[in-house]
Amino acid sequence: MNKIRILSILILIIFSSSNINCQNRAHRYSAFHPGKIWKDSDGNHINAHGGGIYYEDGTYYWYGEHKGDDSKAHVGINVYSSKDLYNWKKEGIALAVEKDPNSEITAGSVMERPKVIYNKKTGKYVLWFHLELKGKGYSAARTGVAISDTPTGPFKYLKSYRPNARKWPKNFKESSKREFKKGEIGEWWTDQWKKNLLEGSFVRRDFEEGQMSRDMTVYVDKDGTAYHIHSSEENQTLHISELTDDYLNFTGNWVRVQAGGQNEAPAIFEKDGKYYMVTSGLTGWDPNAARSFVADSIMGKWSALGNPAEGKDADKTFHSQSTFILPVEGKDDAFIFMADRWKPNNHIDGRYIWLPIEWENGKPIIKWKDEWDLSFFDEN
Ligand code: GAL
């Protein structure tokens, strides 16, 4: 009787541990499956939307918006780590919302599109993100900055900006550098409004307070200079601004890019000395056709290359919106286009579309793949 008991306990143990193994195995990935549920090492769908990646010493860190069923920040910015880009471990909350109702990052604010860069001079990790103040919709249009001594945080919130207050863009006409006159915006969407916009009516309107900053990314150039790239002027025009040496402030050196071009969700990468940018148009959570641009330097001039997506659903960027372009470590010319397939009715279910950048006649191209892995870059 005892023997039977011991034997059945043993069988139970073996069965349950093999079951655990099975579960673990189920969450080990060796390929990307764009648009599918992507589980972290605990078995939960990764919660890192509008994200960006920072790489150091064999580890990738993925920062992204924690989302519940709505799009507000109730938790903060999550960070995950990975050695192989397929399997991600949740490291925790990089930057948590604050309880204090007077804090700019109080629960219920909007914290979007977090991006982390490392500052060699100060030894600090610097996190920038799009901040909207609680209860004010998207009208604050600010960018927030936080720092940490480690890539996983916790990051300490420093402050937020309307960038470049009292600074004219470098590529602004002398005649445009004038005081804002009430009424010079004009009636929205009319030809006159567009003409005024191109000539800088919104820049003049926001000259004292600082320029609007919504969808954004940050980029560190080869010489260590960092740039903040954001949708401004009521999302009509991109601004590219140089950051100070410590990456915590704006130098006031900035340019307008594609004035009136209505770009958001910017993502930048560099190949063979040329800079490429992918953006989306302005349709909120709904997908639209991506755009691509090329320049010889970050500050421009940026020239349009057209929609980088090809094939079925290219006009909707495969139902996604750009967020980051990741250079794969140790591989030449290997870049991953990272995008969000938003689920505005249940944000936590938002999916990740990661696809390799391909090239055709010097143009970055994105094609759909149900499944792919990093060997793609060795074969193509
Ligand atoms: C999108 C933007 C998202 C979020 C959303 C809000 O266009 O890319 O980051 O801000 O609008 O509607």
Instruction: Enumerate the domain spans of the chain.
Output: 47-164+214-379
pLDDT at 4: 53
**For residues 346-354, average pLDDT:** 97
Expressed in angstroms and rounded, the spacing between residue 369 Cα and the centre of ligand 1 is: 25
Expressed in angstroms and rounded, the spacing between residue 199 Cα and the centre of ligand 1 is: 26
Expressed in angstroms and rounded, the spacing between residue 66 Cα and the centre of ligand 1 is: 14
Which of 130, 138, 285 for a ligand 1 pocket mutation test, highest count of atoms within 8 Å of Cβ? 285
pLDDT at 12: 46
**50 within ligand 1 shell (Cβ under 6 A):** yes
Among the atoms of ligand 1, which is closest to the Cα of residue 50? 9
Among the atoms of ligand 1, which is closest to the Cα of residue 112? 9
212-224 pLDDT tens trace = 999 999 999 999 9
Q: By CB neighbour count within 10 A (0-12 exposed, 13-18 middle, 19+ buried), where does 273 fall?
A: exposed
Expressed in angstroms and rounded, the spacing between residue 263 Cα and the centre of ligand 1 is: 11
| Residue appearing with tokens 């005649």 | 175
158-175 pLDDT tens trace = 999 999 999 999 999 999
Expressed in angstroms and rounded, the spacing between residue 321 Cα and the centre of ligand 1 is: 9
**Confidence band for 15, pLDDT divided at 50, 70 and 90:** very low
**215 within ligand 1 shell (Cβ under 6 A):** yes
**239 within ligand 1 shell (Cβ under 6 A):** no
* Protein residue whose Cα sits closest to atom 11 of ligand 1: 284
Expressed in angstroms and rounded, the spacing between residue 284 Cα and the centre of ligand 1 is: 5
Considering only residues 15 and 336, tell me which one the structure prediction assigns the higher pLDDT: 336
**113 within ligand 1 shell (Cβ under 6 A):** yes
Among the atoms of ligand 1, which is closest to the Cα of residue 280? 8
The backbone torsions φ and ψ at residue 17, rounded to the nearest 5 degrees and listed phi first, read -70, -35
Expressed in angstroms and rounded, the spacing between residue 214 Cα and the centre of ligand 1 is: 8
pLDDT at 379: 86
216-273 pLDDT tens trace = 999 999 999 999 999 999 999 999 999 999 999 999 999 999 999 999 999 999 999 9
pLDDT at 2: 56
Residue 91 predicted with pLDDT over 70:
yes
Fold of the domain built from segment(s) 47-164+214-379 = Tachylectin-2; Chain A (2.115.10)
- Residue pair 277/267 in contact (Cβ under 8 Å)? The answer is yes
**265 within ligand 1 shell (Cβ under 6 A):** yes
pLDDT at 65: 98
292-341 pLDDT tens trace = 999 999 999 999 999 999 999 999 999 999 999 999 999 999 999 999 99
Q: What token pair was written down for 122?
A: 């100060």
Expressed in angstroms and rounded, the spacing between residue 267 Cα and the centre of ligand 1 is: 14
**347 within ligand 1 shell (Cβ under 6 A):** no
Which of 215, 217, 319 for a ligand 1 pocket mutation test, highest count of atoms within 8 Å of Cβ? 215
> To 5 degrees, how large is the angle CA 241–CA 242–CA 248?
105
**66 within ligand 1 shell (Cβ under 6 A):** no
Q: How many CB atoms lie within 10 A of CB 364?
A: 21
- Residue pair 70/347 in contact (Cβ under 8 Å)? The answer is yes
**206 within ligand 1 shell (Cβ under 6 A):** no
**Confidence band for 208, pLDDT divided at 50, 70 and 90:** very high
pLDDT at 21: 39
**Confidence band for 3, pLDDT divided at 50, 70 and 90:** low
